[in-house]
Chains A and B, each alone.
Chain A
Amino acid sequence: MDAVHSCFKDKLGQAVLPGDVFSFAVSAVEDSAVRAEKVICGPGLRRNGDEILVCKSGILRHKAPNLYWIDSQQKRYVPVKGESVIGIVTAKSGDIFKVDVGSSEQASLSYLAFEGATKRNRPNVQVGDLVYSQFIIANKDMEPELVCIDSCGRANGMGVFGADGLLFKVSLGLVRRLLVPQSEIVKDLEKIFPFEMVVGMNGRVWVKAKTVQQTLIVANLLDSCENMTAQQRQTLFKRVAEGSL
């Protein structure tokens, strides 16, 4: 077991480049006590026979017991099944809506995939509306499909939203940092003033605060904490909080 993890250990937390290879010396000794290892490769790592190939530049991360992935900064979104995104409705054609999620293809959203929607009772969705939905089909060979209900048939926060408020785009890395369960950025922001926020995994963030000015402040702060260390961010937020009071 250690043979596998030791290959990764010295590069853990360091920047790796595409083309870096982690190869595991498969020992010739037939030891029945050694069980087959399972290493889960996350985004940015690909299996290439007996080796693991890095295909994106970023930092190698590890989560016990055997999950490894590359943490990279990217702007373009690639649909993944199960992720919740903010989409913009671009067309209504027949029974489906065409939704732009910022990927290479527009996703389709059936009008029946809303809570309480039937053939007679169509949901009230206009072209240009924002929808928060999740992918039910998302692979490289098929057109992605979205739904606004979960497996029990309830909306669970998904659907059309955002009559007021501001939508803006950030990088995917920042979005992941915002969605971490106890996100520090969100906690720091909450201390300044209350606001509503919807975060889509495709890099789109929607914010709404009490006034237009506060909404703009929140949006600009989120934009700027892309490349800041935690300390710089806290000093900036503190300065803004004092300024707005």
Chain B
Amino acid sequence: FVEERSGVGSVLREYGSEQNLLSKPDGSASFIQGDTSVLAGVYGPAEVKVSKEIYDRATLEVVIQPKVGMASVRERAREQCVRETCEAALLSTLHPRSSFTLVLQEVHDDGSLLSCCLNAACMALMDAGLPMGRLFCGVTCAIDAESQIITDPTAQQEKESRALMTFAIDSKDCSVMMSLTKGSFSVKELQQCIAVSQKASERIFQFYRDSVQRRYSKIL
């Protein structure tokens, strides 16, 4: 059965990013979506412990640190999502027996934290100059009680939604690299959210391009 749905009210919050803001990591970036803010630092290719080395590719380690308290299962689940996305995007066969370490620090959580982590991770990996086959970005969609689709929800909107989905979209053909969903929704709603995320991701990729353009503007 078909539900009438109006597509208004879906916005991407104000976003911004800064690259190369830490002096020690090889690459660093901070990404801000509305009030949610994540800081990412990347080391690599660096030495790896013999027990963890892989003979033909690089070992990617992702650490997500919450602001308050110790890392728990929720952070491990998010680390898994980010790691899978990054491994699909990085060309890790170019650096066997090395390690790439990605550390994400949550600076403030006001909803859409996982997609903010993904965006910060992508900008940090670009800043570090690690070889990547494609870029990725994260978009969160929420379906509220009136079955409206909200992109980039705040923490309040997330709490009141009946379904919450995060997608990692890649830059080459706008396909879904990773998805994490919570709540109940129909197949049609899922496809609509994916389509919305793909539209939103175009904007974010354009933002990546503008940032890089601006960064190299002084050397051009």
Say if the two chains contact directly (CB < 8 Å).
Answer: yes
Q: Quick check: B45 and A75 within 8 Å, CB to CB? A: no
Encoded as 1 (CB less than 8 Å from any B CB) or 0, chain A from 1 to 38 comes to 00000000000011101110100000000000000000
Question: Quick check: which of B30-38, B78-86, B89-97 contacts chain A, the rest being far away?
Answer: B89-97
Chain B nearest CB: distance from A47 CB in Å?
A: 13
A17 and B208 alpha carbons, distance in the complex (Å): 8
In the complex the two chains form, is A76's CB within 8 Å of B220's CB? no
Interface bits A124-153 vs B (CB < 8 Å: 1, else 0): 000000000000000011000000000000
Q: Is B177 an interface residue (CB 8 A)?
A: no
A105 sits at the interface (CB 8 A): yes
Any B CB within 8 A of the CB of A78: yes
A64 at the interface (CB under 8 A from B): no
Interface status of A73 (Cβ within 8 A of chain B): yes
Given contacts A56-B129, A141-B96, contact A104 B216 (CB under 8 A): no
Residue of B44, B94, B209 near A76 (CB, 8 A) is B44
Does A103 count as interface, using CB distance less than 8 angstroms?
Answer: yes
Cβ of A56: which chain B residues have Cβ within 8 Å of it? 126, 129-132
CB of B46 closer than 8 Å to a CB of A: yes
Report the tally of A-B residue pairs with Cβ distances under 8 A.
Answer: 92
Q: Is B171 an interface residue (CB 8 A)?
A: yes
Query: A75, B26: Cβ atoms under 8 Å?
Result: yes
Closest A residue, CB atoms, query B42: A76
Query: Could you say which residues of chain B place their CB within 8 Å of the CB of A105?
Result: 47, 97-98
**In the complex the two chains form, what is the Cα distance from A46 to B48 in whole Å?**
26
The answer, yes or no, to whether A58 is at the interface (CB within 8 Å) is: yes
Tell me the minimal C-beta distance from B198 to chain A in angstroms: 15
**In whole angstroms, how far apart are the Cα atoms of A9 and B98 in the complex?**
36
Tell me the chain A residues, 72-108 only, with Cβ under 8 Å from chain B. 72-76, 78, 103-105
Q: Contacts A140-B95, A228-B218 given: A18-B132 contact, CB under 8 Å?
A: yes
Say yes or no: is B172 at the interface (Cβ < 8 Å to chain A): yes
- A72 with B129: CB separation less than 8 A: yes
A157 to B134, CA, bound (A): 42
User: For residue B45, which residues in chain A have a CB less than 8 angstroms away from its CB?
Assistant: 76, 78, 103-104
CB distance from A142 to the nearest CB of B (A): 10
Interface flags, B208-220, vs A, CB<8A=1, else 0:
1100110110111
Is B126 within 8 A of A71, CB to CB? no
Q: What would be 10 A-B contacts, judged by CB atoms less than 8 Å apart?
A: A14-B213, A15-B209, A17-B208, A19-B170, A76-B43, A76-B46, A103-B45, A104-B46, A104-B95, A105-B98
Chain A residues packing against B (C-beta within 8 Å): 13-15, 17-19, 21, 46, 53, 55-59, 71-76, 78, 103-105, 140-141, 173, 227-229
* Chain B residues with a Cβ under 8 A of chain A: 20, 26-27, 43-48, 91, 94-99, 126, 128-135, 170-172, 205, 208-209, 212-213, 215-216, 218-220
6 nearest interchain CB pairs? A74-B129, A104-B98, A18-B132, A19-B134, A55-B131, A104-B45
Given contacts A56-B132, A75-B27, A76-B45, 19 further A-B contacts (CB under 8 A): A14-B213, A15-B215, A17-B126, A17-B135, A18-B126, A18-B131, A18-B132, A18-B133, A19-B132, A19-B172, A21-B172, A56-B130, A71-B219, A74-B129, A104-B46, A104-B95, A104-B98, A140-B96, A229-B218
